[in-house]
Chains A and B, each alone.
Chain A
Amino acid sequence: MNPVGNATDSKPRLVLTGITKRYPSVVANDDISLSVRPGEIHAVLGENGAGKSTLMKIIYGITKPDAGTILWNGQYETITTPSQARRLGIGMVFQHFSLFETLTVWENIALALDERVSSAKLAAQITEVSEKYGLPIDPYRLVHSMSVGERQRVEIVRCLLQEPKLLIMDEPTSVLTPQAVLVLFETLRRLASEGCSILYISHKLDEIRALCDSATVLRGGRVSGTAIPKNETNESLARLMIGGELAVCSLMPRQPEEVRLELDHLSLPTADPFGTTLKEISLTVRSGEILGIAGVSGNGQKELMAALSGERLSTGPMIKLLGQPVGDLNPAKRRELGLTFVPEERLGRGAVPPMSLAYNALLTGSRKGMVQNGMIYPTVMRSFAKKVIERFKVKCGDEQSAASSLSGGNLQKYIVGRETMLEPKMMIVGQPTWGVDVGAAQLIRQALIDLRDQGVALLVISEELDELFIISDRLMVLAEGRLSPSVRPAETSIGQIGTWMSGKFNEPAGRGAAGADPLQEVA
C-alpha cells in the first residue's frame, strides 16, 4: 500500500484557489487554496473556528463562496448543491450526522441517492458494500436505535454506494472509541489505495500523523502552511495550527476530603424515546478532586447531566449532595445547596441568546444579591457580569452585549466564569471545551483545576480523552447508560479506556493489560 507513490504522478483531482467566505462578524475562509491528488489522504488541520467546516461545506455545495474557484479533474465547476457535488463524485461524512433518526437505514440512504431504486435492491447493495469495506450494518434498522459508531458507518456506506472520487470526512473520530478509530483508518486506507481521494478534517495531531499523506493547516480562516505530517512532530504541527506553543496544565497531587456528591445505584428510565436509560450508576466525588467521565456522547451523558442538575427529577436517596438526598429537588433548590453546572449546550441552555451578558448573570446568579424581595437590582447584576468578563478574559463589547454575539469560546468562558463565581461546593461540567478554541480551552481547564485546588468537588463529562487524562484525579467511563469502575489516569491507558468505552468493563484496568495508546502503536 503506497498511496503517496501512485499519487504524485497523476493530475490533481481537486484544486481550490482563493476561496473566500465572509460572515457578518467573521471571515470564515480567506483566500484558501489547496490541491488533492487521486488516492491521496489529505488532512485539513486547524483548531475550532479555523474555518475547516466552512471550506468543506463549500466543496460539497452547501455553502456558497464569496470568491474563489474550484477545479475538479481539470475543469472549472461551480458547485451549488450537494446533489451536484454527488454527481461529480464528491461524498461527505458529516461531523454531526446528517441522518434522520425516525427513518430506517435504507430510507436514509435512498434520500441521498439521486436515482430511484427499489428498497429490496438498495438493501442488497447496502449489504454488499458494507461487507466489502468491513462496515456491517442492517439496512432495515431504525437509525435512532443505533450507536453513534454505527451511524457513522451508515454515513460512510451512503457515500460509498455512489463510488466517490473524493470523500470528505469531517472530524470523524470524535464519536469513536480509540479501537474503532483504527478500524476506520483501515477502511480509509483501502479506499485511497483504490484511487479515492480523501479530505480528512481534524484537530487531532496524532491521528493526522498516523493517517495522512499531506496536510493543509488553517488558522483564523487562512492557510498558515502545508506539511507532510509523517515528517512533523505534534509540536511543529501545533505551532502551525495555533501560532504558538501548546500550553500545558498540570495537576498537583492533592488529598481529597469529604464526599460532596454520591450516586447510589442511580437508575432512571429515559424521558426521551430516543434517549438512553441510566442503569445502576454509582459514584462519589470528594472535595478537592476532579472526577472525569469519559465516553462517546449518546451513551447517557445528557441523561446523567439532567439527573445531576435536577432538570430531570428522581426519587429516593439515589442522589446525595453534601449528604442530603436531592433527587426530588429542582435545579434552583440544588443550587441553593452549593451546586453549579455548565451544560454542554451553551446557546439556549447555558445562556439565553438574545439577552445581555448581564441578564445572563441573573439566570443562575440571583442569590448573589441581584434580587431582593422579588425585585431585580440591575447594578449588582451588571457589576457581577463585569467581574466575570474581567476575570475570565471574555472578549465582548461589554456586559450589555447579547450572548449570541459572542464566539463559542468566549461564551463558554463567560458561563464557566459565572458558575465559578457563584462559589460552588460542587460543580458539574459537560463537554467543557466542545467547539472552543485552544486558548479558551486552556483557560477553562486551568479554571477547573484552580477550583479543585480550592477544595471544590468537580465532575467533568467529556468526549476528549486527552483532556480528561490531564485534568482528572480519577476517570470513569459511561457506556450504554452504565458506568465503569473508577481508575487513576496514571494507572491506565487510552487503550484500556477505549475498551471500556465500548461497554466491556470486565477487562482489568491495569497498565499494559490491553496495550498502550493504539495510535502510538501505528504512528
Chain B
Amino acid sequence: MNPIVPMIASTVVAATPLIYAALGETIVEKAGVLNLGIEGMMLIGAVAGFAATLATGSDTVGFMAAAGAGVALSLAFGFLTLNLQTNQVATGLALTLFGIGLSAFVGHNLAGTPLPPLPPIFIPGLSSIPIVGDLLFRYDIMVYLSLVLFAAVEWFLIKSHAGLTLRAIGESPSVAHAIGKSVLTTRYLAVMFGGACAGIAGAYLSLVQTPMWVEGMSAGKGWIALALVVFGTWKPARVVLGAYLFGGVTQFQLFAQGFGLPIPTEFLSMLPYAATVVVLVIICRDPKTILLNQPASLGISFHAAA
C-alpha cells in the first residue's frame, strides 16, 4: 500500500487533540483571557474520560465526562482570575500543576489498563473508494467532529453577534462594560468552553490515540496548543492548519523509525518541541504581527468599579 496514505491518516489522528485544545483556547484568548492551564485540563480530561468509559463501556459518556472535568477545572481558573482577579499567568501555571497532580492521583489505579479504541466510521460506498476513501472516510467520529467544531468556531467569531461581543470584550473590557456588556459572563462562558475542549482533547489521547491512561500522557501537547494559537495569529483556520502541520511533525518521528533512519529516537522526539520554538520565532519576529492580531486585553485582569 502507498505509505503516504497511512502517514497522512496518522497525522490527522495526531492533530485532532491539538485542534480541540487550540480552538478552545482561541475562544478563551479572543475574550482576553490567557489560560495556561490547558495541559492540566487535558490530563484531567484524559483520566476522567478514561475512567468513565472503563466504568460504563460508552465512549460518549467518556467524552462527556472529560468535557465536564475540563469545565470543572476551568471554573476554578475562572473564579480565581475573573472574580478574584489573580494573575492569569500564575493561575494558569497553578492549574497545570494541579491538573498533573490530581490526574496522577485519581488515575493511580487505572494506569496500564487497556481499552478498545474508538472504531472508525465506515460509510458504505465512500469508505471503500481507493485512496480517497482511506484518506477521508476512515476516521473515528471525533475527527469529523473536530472539523464541525472548527466550522462552528469560525462562524461564531465572524458571523454571530455573540462572537462580535466576545471579540469586543477581548479588545477592551472597560469599553464593553461602559456600553453595558457583561464582561464577567462572557469571559466565564469562554473559559468554560476552553475547559470543555481541553478535556475532550485529553480524552482523545486516552480513549483513541493510545488508548490507555498513562501518567502525564499529554507530554506537553497542552503547551503546543497554546503555541498553535499564537502561530495561527488567533484565526481558527490557521490554528487548524498549524495543528495538522504539528501532527505531521510528530508522525515524522514514527516514519523515520519505520524507515530505519539512523537517528536516535530521542532526537526525533525532540522535533515537535523544537518545531514549536522555531514556529514561535517566525511568527513573533515582527512585533506588528502580534500587535495587530493579539486581543488587546489578553492576560490583563478587569475589575469593574461599582
Asked whether any CB of A lies within 8 Å of a CB of B in the complex, the reply is yes
A residues with CB within 8 A of B: 61-64, 81-86, 94, 97-103, 107, 110-112, 116, 271-273
Q: List 14 A-B contacts (CB under 8 A).
A: A82-B179, A98-B175, A98-B178, A99-B175, A100-B168, A103-B167, A107-B168, A110-B164, A111-B168, A111-B176, A111-B181, A112-B180, A116-B161, A271-B288
Using CB atoms, name the residue of chain B closest to A97. Answer: B175
Q: Do B180 and A83 touch across chains, with their CB atoms under 8 A apart?
A: yes
> In the complex, what residues of B have CB within 8 A of residue A62's CB?
177-178
- Prevailing SS type, chain A contact patch: loop
> In the complex, what residues of B have CB within 8 A of residue A273's CB?
288, 291-292
Cα A36 to Cα B161 in complex, Å, equals 36
Contact of B179 among A112, A116, A271 (CB under 8 A): A112
> In the complex, what residues of A have CB within 8 A of residue B168's CB?
100, 103, 107, 111
B residues with CB within 8 A of A: 161, 164-165, 167-168, 171-172, 175-181, 287-288, 291-292, 296, 305-306
> In the complex, what residues of B have CB within 8 A of residue A110's CB?
161, 164
Query: How far apart are A379's CB and chain B's nearest CB, in angstroms?
Result: 34
Known: A100-B167, A110-B164, A111-B179. 14 other contacts (CB 8 A): A63-B306, A81-B180, A83-B180, A86-B180, A98-B175, A98-B178, A100-B168, A101-B171, A102-B171, A103-B167, A103-B171, A111-B164, A111-B181, A112-B180
Q: Do B171 and A100 touch across chains, with their CB atoms under 8 A apart?
A: yes
Query: How far apart are A351's CB and chain B's nearest CB, in angstroms?
Result: 19
User: Given A62-B178, A107-B164, A111-B181, does the pair A272, B171 have CB atoms closer than 8 Å?
Assistant: no
Cα A61 to Cα B175 in complex, Å, equals 14
Cα A272 to Cα B288 in complex, Å, equals 7
Using CB atoms, name the residue of chain A closest to B291. Answer: A273
> In the complex, what residues of B have CB within 8 A of residue A99's CB?
175
> In the complex, what residues of B have CB within 8 A of residue A85's CB?
180
> In the complex, what residues of B have CB within 8 A of residue A103's CB?
164, 167-168, 171
Query: How far apart are B162's CB and chain A's nearest CB, in angstroms?
Result: 10
> In the complex, what residues of A have CB within 8 A of residue B296's CB?
101-102
Q: Do B178 and A94 touch across chains, with their CB atoms under 8 A apart?
A: yes
Q: Do A82 and B167 touch across chains, with their CB atoms under 8 A apart?
A: no
Contact of A271 among B180, B181, B287 (CB under 8 A): B287
Contact of A61 among B180, B291, B292 (CB under 8 A): B180
Cα A461 to Cα B287 in complex, Å, equals 28
Cα A94 to Cα B161 in complex, Å, equals 23
> In the complex, what residues of A have CB within 8 A of residue B164's CB?
103, 107, 110-111
Query: How far apart are A90's CB and chain B's nearest CB, in angstroms?
Result: 11
User: Given A81-B180, A111-B168, A116-B161, does the pair A100, B288 have CB atoms closer than 8 Å?
Assistant: no
> In the complex, what residues of B have CB within 8 A of residue A102's CB?
167, 171, 296
Q: Do B180 and A82 touch across chains, with their CB atoms under 8 A apart?
A: yes
Query: How far apart are B290's CB and chain A's nearest CB, in angstroms?
Result: 10
Query: How far apart are B199's CB and chain A's nearest CB, in angstroms?
Result: 31
Cα A85 to Cα B287 in complex, Å, equals 41
Cα A107 to Cα B166 in complex, Å, equals 12
> In the complex, what residues of A have CB within 8 A of residue B178's CB?
62, 82, 94, 98
Cα A100 to Cα B171 in complex, Å, equals 7
Cα A116 to Cα B172 in complex, Å, equals 21
Q: Do B179 and A98 touch across chains, with their CB atoms under 8 A apart?
A: yes
> In the complex, what residues of A have CB within 8 A of residue B181's CB?
111
> In the complex, what residues of B have CB within 8 A of residue A112's CB?
179-180
Using CB atoms, name the residue of chain B closest to A57. Answer: B178
> In the complex, what residues of A have CB within 8 A of residue B167's CB?
100, 102-103
Cα A99 to Cα B168 in complex, Å, equals 9
Cα A258 to Cα B305 in complex, Å, equals 50
> In the complex, what residues of B have CB within 8 A of residue A64's CB?
306
Query: How far apart are A156's CB and chain B's nearest CB, in angstroms?
Result: 14
Closest 5 CB pairs of A and B: A82-B180, A83-B180, A98-B178, A98-B175, A112-B179
Cα A63 to Cα B305 in complex, Å, equals 7
Cα A411 to Cα B20 in complex, Å, equals 49
> In the complex, what residues of A have CB within 8 A of residue B171's CB?
100-103
Cα A102 to Cα B296 in complex, Å, equals 9
Query: How far apart are A96's CB and chain B's nearest CB, in angstroms?
Result: 9
Query: How far apart are B141's CB and chain A's nearest CB, in angstroms?
Result: 34
Cα A273 to Cα B287 in complex, Å, equals 10
Query: How far apart are B129's CB and chain A's nearest CB, in angstroms?
Result: 41
> In the complex, what residues of A have CB within 8 A of residue B305's CB?
63
Cα A100 to Cα B180 in complex, Å, equals 14
> In the complex, what residues of A have CB within 8 A of residue B161's CB?
110, 116
> In the complex, what residues of A have CB within 8 A of residue B291's CB?
272-273
User: Given A63-B305, A116-B161, does the pair A100, B172 have CB atoms closer than 8 Å?
Assistant: yes
Cα A405 to Cα B57 in complex, Å, equals 61
> In the complex, what residues of A have CB within 8 A of residue B176's CB?
100, 111
Query: How far apart are A114's CB and chain B's nearest CB, in angstroms?
Result: 9
> In the complex, what residues of A have CB within 8 A of residue B179's CB?
82, 98, 111-112
Cα A82 to Cα B165 in complex, Å, equals 15
Cα A100 to Cα B179 in complex, Å, equals 11
Cα A275 to Cα B154 in complex, Å, equals 29
Cα A85 to Cα B131 in complex, Å, equals 62
Query: How far apart are A366's CB and chain B's nearest CB, in angstroms?
Result: 29
Query: How far apart are B66's CB and chain A's nearest CB, in angstroms?
Result: 34
Cα A271 to Cα B177 in complex, Å, equals 29
Q: Do A111 and B165 touch across chains, with their CB atoms under 8 A apart?
A: yes
Listed residue (A81, A111, A116) with the most chain B CB atoms within 10 angstroms of its CB:
A111
Cα A83 to Cα B182 in complex, Å, equals 11
